[in-house]
Structure 1
């Protein structure tokens, strides 16, 4: 299969893509199906999402086991969660200047290899300090992977297909709940909390092998005008100088707040506040994950069909309502918790999928790597701050009860309202195709 060295799809001046099996140019953009290679690439990117997201998400349900095992306080556990985010943010900023100078496939494999080494260290950690160090190393590599995935996705898929492909990528998140979290919790209960990290490493090695063999080089951006002309520092400054991209960065940071504030203490809240037995946690994640797996592609299709904004605003409204209910739950039956959890995740994904599809069209091709690296860095840094703030807002009582959790919900609701305003500003004046409204500053 020949290398694809055409102009990346989805740009204002893009030529028809040379991806094998591409749909003829006469096909209306809104009707373009995925080519066989696009389906393969989307599947591989979703596989990466599954592995990386599971590594981060597993900290939440394992928190109820890790904290007593390592004698960690709520603040220390919040630090362990945020350490990944802070190191990932720093790594994103450090790589932003040269992210567009290499074949994205090679860059992806390098950082994925480092991520697996960090995860292996987590699986061998025996103290708070060693776990903290392991999470820092994992974040340095894992935090960059998401930005590379987004850059590859924007290179291979035109704007009219991005809602659907973002839905598929979020399916990797859902699959981590359907398959990864229940199995990880089973391994942790059968052996100990280290076992899930070892399993992630083994699965990640298989994923890396498939990507190495099946994914073509992603290097079309190397031929774009201006690529490699400036130093890494200047390329970074050029990316952050664009006002519309600054708005996109702020939007991403706000959208991140919700998950990072709610997730670290979700398992402790469900067990000690809502009164759900620990052995029922896999059922909650399983049902929520299955529903998310079903709804994510539907949300992506809806965003492509009716537009990103209506879907995004509906997601904001659902998120606000369900977060208010969720954070105020007292002792409740399992079915009610699952219902609230499912609807809340549908709302969150109805925000994230159209937002990601919109953000993919903001940067020019020669700035995609840098833009996504910075965007991912700010996402992780904002998430780290959110985790630390949540760790200082809530207090764990002697009986394990999570106190002041509703205050976390108020912060999430406020960030959602501001994000809705920023999203409206971001799409104002944007062409229908999703391309940048103005050329980036040089």
Structure 2
């Protein structure tokens, strides 16, 4: 039975949103927990900031390589089976992180986790694009990406609490245990996602990958995603180190700081998602970028600051970050054809991860810490770099928006509506 093309969600669509959201929650939490554990890891494993940057970027680089290697196969299998395969590998890698005994072993574990976990987001995006029309995707992205906020509200504070009790390894084992239950739920309840298989024309996986790579209309989507990722990854790895050693936030206050930021994300995400389906996604993206730029400059130039002010600035900055993520994801999902979505999303995810890995590594080279208890230096320079990159992303997303408008015109849809890029695309059978 085909899902009716309407702006209202069916019961099954609601289930898909839920299952993808909790899957994303575990994957995002696995990556996000590295930042709040940063200060603890640096002190426990006697690492330098550059070493921690490598530990963070190891996941991103391996995820990027994995995405490129699997892109040619992404549209040749049932997306449910792909999701289960890579999610199982992600679980194994996360367990490996939890039993790591040294910095070198931890880096190896992060590489394995990235090889599998980095592809899951692109598979989820392809499933969303297959099941939901563009007019619905803003809300869908808002709900699915609530995993970002939920990881800060529930996962990170609980993870830090567990880490303080049983060591930094414990949060990874907690994530793995939760992910095992979710994998069972996916296997039993999610229906096959295979309508795209009827549209495949490329005889081999390599030809499909090459076809998706060289298609000129897709290049601007790749560039926009890569640039956005560089800006997003530069500040994040050293967030907890900066908060503890520069702003005067204590280790016990860190969970509260992340929880407040996460609650704000949980509230903001659905609102942004609904708003992006009602107004121009590009205008919303631009306003959010400018909002984040102002907050970023203020935050990275702070010294010792009262906790309540740090919390307020984090909430304000979160509004800008979330305001960029939702409309940019929805706009980018309009770039590929249905037959290329899996490959496009995999390549896009690869570029996102590789760009993020480069950003984390470069950030680790910019910031300096005399010893593991001294203030972090040059974090303000990281903030200024983020400003420049954010301005570039505004221009690139404008190009993506123009491509979406062009596709709407070619489809014969009206372009005088408030959000002309909102085209209707075929919905898969489920």
Same fold (TM over 0.5): yes
2:34 corresponds to 1:59: yes
Corresponding residue for residue 190 of structure 2: 215
2:216 corresponds to 1:243: yes
Deviation at 1:237, TM superposition (A): 1.5
Corresponding residue for residue 402 of structure 2: 428
Secondary structure of 1:144's partner?
A: helix
Corresponding residue for residue 63 of structure 2: 88
2:215 corresponds to 1:271: no
In structure 1, what is the Cα distance between the partners aligned to 2:126 and 2:345?
6
Structure 1: stretches of 5+ with no match in the other structure: 5-17, 438-442
2:345 to 363, 372, 386: 372
Corresponding residue for residue 405 of structure 1: 379
Corresponding residue for residue 412 of structure 2: none
Checking the alignment, whether the CA contact within 8 Å between 1:315 and 1:347 is kept in structure 2 is: yes
Deviation at 1:221, TM superposition (A): 0.4
In structure 1, what is the Cα distance between the partners aligned to 2:86 and 2:141?
21
Deviation at 1:245, TM superposition (A): 1.0
Q: How does 1:20-169 map to 2 (within 5 A)?
A: 22=4, 32-169=7-144
Deviations 1:209-244 (A, max 9, x none): 1111111000010111xx153322221111122222
Checking the alignment, whether the CA contact within 8 Å between 1:254 and 1:415 is kept in structure 2 is: yes
**Which one is further off, 244-253 or 365-374?**
244-253
Corresponding residue for residue 365 of structure 2: 392
2:314 corresponds to 1:341: yes
Checking the alignment, whether the CA contact within 8 Å between 1:244 and 1:426 is kept in structure 2 is: no
Deviations 1:120-144 (A, max 9, x none): 0000001011001000000000000
Deviation at 1:101, TM superposition (A): 0.2
Secondary structure of 1:396's partner?
A: coil
Checking the alignment, whether the CA contact within 8 Å between 1:70 and 1:126 is kept in structure 2 is: no
Checking the alignment, whether the CA contact within 8 Å between 1:362 and 1:436 is kept in structure 2 is: no
Q: Which aligned segments of 4 or more residues in structure 1 are displaced greater than 6 angstroms? A: none
Corresponding residue for residue 293 of structure 2: 320
In structure 1, what is the Cα distance between the partners aligned to 2:394 and 2:283?
11
In structure 2, what is the Cα distance between the partners aligned to 1:228 and 1:89?
26
RMSD over aligned Cα atoms: 1.3
Deviations 1:233-258 (A, max 9, x none): 22111112222211011111111123
Deviations 1:366-416 (A, max 9, x none): 100000000000000000000010000001122331100001001111110
2:204 to 227, 231, 237: 231
Aligned CA distance change for structure 1 residues 331 and 63 (closer, same or farther; 3 Å): same
Aligned length: 410
Corresponding residue for residue 281 of structure 2: 308
Corresponding residue for residue 393 of structure 2: 419
Checking the alignment, whether the CA contact within 8 Å between 2:135 and 2:423 is kept in structure 1 is: no
Deviation at 1:259, TM superposition (A): 2.6
Corresponding residue for residue 329 of structure 2: 356
In structure 2, what is the Cα distance between the partners aligned to 1:256 and 1:339?
24
Checking the alignment, whether the CA contact within 8 Å between 1:182 and 1:282 is kept in structure 2 is: yes
